[in-house]
C-alpha cells in the first residue's frame, strides 16, 4: 500500500487537510511569517516520515508569493523523501502557455522548470488544460440538486464549447456557445452572437476559471436581454479579482458556484476526493 504524507502551504490549508483525510495520511502544517519588507519565512513543524510527500499549495494571488512558498516547501521536504508530488489545485500562469503576441514569454514553461529544479517528481492540477483531474463531475452533482427550469448550459465563448458540451451531457440537457471577441492588448470583451433562444429557461454559464469576470458580465447582460430566467455561474477556479463577484451579481447572476481549489464565498464544491483518487 502506498504511503503518503500531506504537507500544506498556507494558501491551501483546508483543502490539504481534506485530502489527507481522504488518503488516511499524516498531515503536516507549515507556518509563514512575513517580514515588513515583504520577504517570507516558511517553517515546517515536523519532518515527514518515509513516504511520498504531497505538497498542496494553490498559486492564486499573490501568485508569485504563493509560488515561492510552494518551491520553498518542496526544496525542504525533498531532503526527506525521494518522491515529492506538487498538488497545485489552481495553477497560476497556466494561461500563459503559448506565445499569443510576438515577444511574450511562455511563463508556465518557466514555472515547470522551477518546480523540477526544486525537486518535484509529479505535478497535479485541476481543470486547467488538464483532462486527468477534472472538477466537472462534482460541479454537475451540485447543480443537479438545484431546482432549475429547463436548464441550458452556456459557454461564454467558442473555446469552451467542449467543456459546455460535457457539462450538459452530465446534466442531461443541451448547450450553446456564444461568439466572443477579446482584444489581446486591451482585454476588452464583446459578444458577437446575435440572438439565442433562451426565453424562460434557467442558464448555467460554465467556465474553467473566472478572474475579472468581464466575459461572464458581458454574456449575462446579453442573455438577460434574450429574456432568460435565472443565470447561474459554474466554474472550477473563482479568482474573482477587482470586485468581480459584485459586478457579476450586478449583471444579473443569481449564484456563483466554484470549487475549493481557492477559498472563498463561492467555493461550495469540494474537490478533495477527486484529487485523492488521482493521487492513488
Q: Which residues are catalytic?
A: 180
| Antiparallel, parallel or unpaired: β 40-44 and 27-34 | antiparallel
Note whether 239 and 214 are within 8 A (CB). Answer: no
Distance CA 246, CA 265 (A): 12
**φ, ψ for residue 107, nearest 5 deg:** -65, -30
CA distance 203 to 223: 9
Is 175 in contact with 154 (CB distance < 8 Å)?
Answer: yes
Phi and psi at residue 177, in whole multiples of 5°? -125, 135
Beta pairing class for 152-155 and 122-125: unpaired
DSSP helix/strand/coil, 100: coil
> What H or E segment, with its residue span, contains residue 64?
helix 63-77
Amino acid at each position: 500500500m502506498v504511503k503518503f504524507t500531506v504537507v500544506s502551504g498556507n494558501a491551501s490549508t483546508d483543502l490539504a487537510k481534506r485530502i489527507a483525510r481522504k488518503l488516511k495520511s499524516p498531515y503536516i502544517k507549515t507556518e509563514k511569517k512575513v517580514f515588513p519588507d515583504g520577504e517570507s519565512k516558511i517553517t515546517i513543524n515536523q519532518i515527514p516520515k518515509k513516504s511520498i510527500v504531497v505538497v498542496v499549495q494553490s498559486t492564486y494571488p499573490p501568485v508569485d508569493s504563493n509560488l515561492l512558498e510552494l518551491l520553498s516547501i518542496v526544496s525542504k521536504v525533498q531532503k526527506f523523501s525521494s518522491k515529492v508530488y506538487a498538488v497545485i489545485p489552481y495553477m497560476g500562469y497556466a494561461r500563459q502557455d503559448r506565445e499569443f503576441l510576438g515577444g511574450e514569454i511562455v511563463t508556465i514553461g518557466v514555472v515547470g522548470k522551477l518546480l523540477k529544479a526544486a525537486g518535484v517528481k509529479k505535478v497535479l492540477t485541476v481543470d486547467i488544460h488538464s483532462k486527468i483531474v477534472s472538477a466537472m463531475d462534482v460541479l454537475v452533482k451540485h447543480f443537479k440538486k438545484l431546482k432549475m427550469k429547463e436548464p441550458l448550459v452556456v459557454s461564454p465563448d467558442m473555446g469552451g464549447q467542449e467543456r459546455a458540451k460535457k457539462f450538459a451531457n452530465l446534466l442531461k440537457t443541451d448547450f450553446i456557445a456564444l461568439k466572443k471577441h477579446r482584444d489581446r492588448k486591451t482585454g476588452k470583451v464583446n459578444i458577437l452572437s446575435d440572438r439565442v433562444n433562451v426565453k424562460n429557461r434557467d442558464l448555467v454559464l460554465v467556465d474553467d476559471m473566472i478572474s475579472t469576470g468581464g466575459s461572464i458580465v458581458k454574456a449575462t447582460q446579453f442573455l438577460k436581454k434574450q429574456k432568460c430566467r435565472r443565470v447561474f455561474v459554474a466554474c472550477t477556479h473563482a479568482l474573482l479579482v477587482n470586485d468581480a463577484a459584485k459586478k457579476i451579481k450586478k449583471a444579473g447572476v443569481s449564484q456563483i458556484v466554484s470549487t475549493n481549489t481557492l477559498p472563498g464565498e463561492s467555493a461550495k464544491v469540494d474537490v478533495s476526493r477527486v484529487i485523492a483518487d488521482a493521487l492513488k
